[in-house]
Amino acid sequence: MSEKRLLLGDEAVALGALYAGLSGVYAYPGTPSTEITEYIQQSPLARERGVRSRWCTNEKTAMEAALGMSYAGKRALVCMKHVGMNVCADAFVNAAITGVKGGLVVLAADDPSMHSSQNEQDSRFYGKFAMVPIFEPSSQQEAFEMVGDAFRLSEALRLPVLMRLVTRLAHSRAAVQIGEPQAQNGLAPDDERGRWVLLPGIAKRQYASLIAKQEEIQAGAEASVYNRLEIPGQARDDEKGAGQDDKLGVIAVGIGYNYVRESLPAGVSVLKVSLYPIPAKQVRELAAHCSRVLVVEDGQPFVEEQVKGLLGPDYPVRGRFSGELPRTGELTPDCVAAALGVALPTPHERAHNLAARPPQLCQGCGHRDVYTALNRVAAEFPGARIFGDIGCYTLGALPPFQAIDSCVDMGASITMAKGAADAGLRPAIAVIGDSTFTHSGMTGLLDAVNDHSAITVIISDNLTTAMTGGQDSAGTHKFEAICLALGVERDHLHVVVPLPANMEEITRILREEIAYEGVSVIIPQRECMQTLGRKLRQKKQQ
Amino acid sequence: MSKIDIKLCGVGGQGILSIATVLGEAATAAGLQLKQAEVHGMSQRGGDVQSDLRLSTDAIWSDLIPLGGADLIISMEPMEALRYLPYLAPDGAIVTSGKPFVNIPNYPDEAALFAELDALPHVVRLDIEAVARDSGLPKSANMVLLGMAAPYIGLLPEESLRGAIARVFSRKGEAVVEANLKAFALGLEHSKQVSK
């Protein structure tokens, strides 16, 4: 039986993994990767097969648990947004040293143009760093098929493999032809301690073995259907002739292939790349047919740099480094057409009566009351600094609140406030969400407690992971217990309800705790308006 | 080859994705190729949102519509319709709600905004929320808008859009399907009137 389904790129990955016999998905929500895990959580097939899919506390716990499932012989998928790779890098890189048993696919969804992110780092560098194969689909259909191939390659090489998506594929929908689901692996734990106990003696041997596999990995990429040289018949004939004319060849990487095909001039040769390491053989073949090469890749100039190295300093290689394509931001059909020398019409100028419309905190959101209180109290302390964190409440940086002084990475509010307090800054206030706190805030709070740092921590608890659409938050109903267990003093731990009616109480507590020369934690606790509304609607429907 | 590229836009929370869902359902049933780039995440919180919907009888490559390539802009908000003007094809149409959604302090002067909008060829605008409300269909404003857009979507006959509305909303019950079909008919009627 074969059928077609309309799927987001994320959903195609999820379904591809389920059809490849997945036994567990491990993930922390992060745009644009969230829908992969959500799809598996809602899939009848996953339920029937008992596929493990609950949200993890962060990307590192996700990666390690997935490695454990692989160790036990089953296929596991780890999903995250690109910056999640920073969080789990320790486990990821070392999983390439131990190797795997059941197939282990690590999916990183990059966000070039930073639609919902603080940087546009390119996860392919992590794959190269760990010396593992990297898959990068160009379409939803390819994404679906590729996951199965990624699991098979992972088991054949006994290595984790990386799969990279970008926002435009993750969040774009198209029809996907699907086949029959294959069976899951049975329980078959590995028994080679000589691979898994990374004492230096063993690690040295394992590292040497990883390096020894590189030749096979390279040959596999060059033989793969995912890397395809498309030389038009005409171009081949021309090449046999003069061969001296200016002739363009394009290396079209991942989703870049679509933009190239959108406006490809006749006679141009294309090397489609969707599996790394880059197929050096085909790159040389393309270069031999052409007189210059344009590299079209989303993200950082990862391929362009390597192709330059392959073809030497005299061969013209163009792309994001050389300025033919913009150095930052996602690819568009427009910038790729321009790089190909194809002019697109722009019949209408930008409109005049236009204003930016930035996102904002929802009406009635508890974070609003938190910032109202903080702004009121902070105004009384000219030296006050408010260290923010990652989540909906980062929008407190924008008008009307303009309340926070920093937002760097998951958990940095508490630790930056601590460092600033150590330096003598008063008052140092941290604002962190409930899910971000359990993701990466707890260890920082322990540091602050042990150092008796003078910080005031606001854990703005809306009982969900709101920014990504309301996923379960790992610490719900446990925050007081966690803070007490980490050593926060009972007298300096407060739970309040962020509502305009409670403003007097909240501002009074803030003032008192700011005056305290030690760690205080205030937990404003009220459910997210979005998840609350959804629950009420569901109730009504029933 | 026959194709239509549609830019759907509005403000986060206005429901542009349900218009996209209906168009996607109709296109799939009609055996058309489809690609639809959506916006998820941060910008859904009251910011500007847009979705690129491409339908074709042949293979579609790019998930994004190129500049000057959109045959149609469907917008839940008039200023948001103008935001994507550089994407509109020379002879493209704009079908938009006529009701400004003012959640920013520097929203442009409404008279100037409408003057600029109406100076463009092929613009249909209507206060869809008022029409939906006055007809007792307060939750179906977006289907009024889809009805207004229907005459510009030659690839999908009206009947196929009605069928898609019925299938997409069937989970929510017969009353919801009826309300949405009625809203669709109101929008369609308006569009036919103004283009006479």
Q: What does the DSSP assignment read for A314-365?
A: TS-EESTTTTSS-SSS---HHHHHHHTT------SPPPSS-------PPTT-
Look at residue A53 and tell me whether its pLDDT is greater than 90: yes
Q: In what order do the strands lie in the sheet with A292-296?
A: A227-230, A269-273, A248-253, A292-296, A317-318
Of A355, A360, A362, nearest to B108 by CB-CB distance is A355
Q: Checking phi first, is residue A99 left (phi over 0); if not, alpha (psi -120 to 50) or beta?
A: left
B47 touches chain A (CB under 8 A): yes
Place of tokens 């344009």: A294
B42 and A6 in contact by Cβ < 8 A? no
**Which among A236, A257, A258 has a CA at the least distance from the CA of A247?**
A236
Whole-number Å distance between alpha carbons of A277 and A272? 13
**What's the rounded mean pLDDT across residues A229-248?**
68
Of B12, B28, B108, nearest to A6 by CB-CB distance is B28
Q: Worst-scoring range by mean pLDDT, A2-6, A38-42, B174-178? A: A2-6
- Alpha-carbon torsion A116, A117, A118, A124, what sign? negative
A348 and B68 in contact by Cβ < 8 A? yes
**What's the rounded mean pLDDT across residues A63-75?**
98
pTM of the model: 0.96
B64 touches chain A (CB under 8 A): yes
Residues pairing with B6 in the sheet: B53, B72
pLDDT reported for residue A244: 52
Look at residue A1 and tell me whether its pLDDT is greater than 70: no
- Alpha-carbon torsion A232, A236, A238, A243, what sign? positive
Place of tokens 């469907």: B74
Q: Worst-scoring range by mean pLDDT, A224-238, B27-41, B102-116? A: A224-238
Q: Chain A partners of B12 at a C-beta cutoff of 8 Å?
A: 359
pLDDT exceeding 70 applies to what percent of chain A? 98
Of B45, B63, B116, nearest to A392 by CB-CB distance is B45
Surface-to-core class of residue A315, CB atoms within 10 Å of its CB (0-12 exposed, 13-18 middle, 19+ buried): middle
Of B34, B45, B65, nearest to A174 by CB-CB distance is B34
pLDDT reported for residue B14: 87
B45 and A360 in contact by Cβ < 8 A? yes
Tell me the shortest Cα–Cα distance from B85 to chain A, in angstroms. 6
pLDDT reported for residue A234: 57
Whole-number Å distance between alpha carbons of A308 and A295? 10
Q: In what order do the strands lie in the sheet with B88-97?
A: A3-8, A172-178, B33-37, B48-56, B3-11, B70-75, B88-97, B123-126
Q: Chain A partners of B33 at a C-beta cutoff of 8 Å?
A: 175
B108 and A353 in contact by Cβ < 8 A? yes
Probe site for chain B from A6, A173, A467 (most B CB atoms < 10 A): A173
Q: What does the DSSP assignment read for A395-408?
A: GGGSTTT---SB--
pLDDT reported for residue B42: 64
Tell me the shortest Cα–Cα distance from A4 to chain B, in angstroms. 9
Whole-number Å distance between alpha carbons of A100 and A159? 5
A99, A224, A275, A302 from A218: Cα distances, Å: 18, 10, 10, 17
Q: Chain B partners of A468 at a C-beta cutoff of 8 Å?
A: 41
Q: Looking at chain A, which residue has its C-alpha nearest residue B79?
A: A354
Q: Worst-scoring range by mean pLDDT, A345-349, A409-413, A489-493, B82-86? A: A345-349
* Tens digit of each residue's pLDDT (9 = 90 or more) over A24-41: 999 999 999 999 999 999
Look at residue A157 and tell me whether its pLDDT is greater than 90: yes
Q: Chain B partners of A334 at a C-beta cutoff of 8 Å?
A: 66-67
pLDDT exceeding 90 applies to what percent of chain A? 94
Tell me the shortest Cα–Cα distance from B91 to chain A, in angstroms. 9
Please, are residues A218 and A280 in contact by the beta-carbon 8 Å criterion?
yes
Q: Give the total residue count for chain B.
A: 196
Please, are residues A373 and A507 in contact by the beta-carbon 8 Å criterion?
yes
Place of tokens 């322990």: A446
Of A350, A359, A361, nearest to B43 by CB-CB distance is A359
Of A259, A345, A355, nearest to B104 by CB-CB distance is A355
Q: Worst-scoring range by mean pLDDT, A47-56, B26-35, B44-53? A: B44-53
Q: CB within 8 A of A377, min separation 6: which ones? A: A384, A507, A510, A511, A514
Look at residue A236 and tell me whether its pLDDT is greater than 80: no
- Whole-number average pLDDT of chain B: 94
Tell me the shortest Cα–Cα distance from B48 to chain A, in angstroms. 6
B82 and A262 in contact by Cβ < 8 A? no
Q: Looking at chain A, which residue has its C-alpha nearest residue B56?
A: A174
* Tens digit of each residue's pLDDT (9 = 90 or more) over B49-79: 999 999 999 999 999 999 999 999 999 999 9
B66 and A262 in contact by Cβ < 8 A? yes
ipTM of the complex: 0.94
Look at residue A541 and tell me whether its pLDDT is greater than 80: no
pLDDT reported for residue A216: 98
pLDDT reported for residue A57: 98
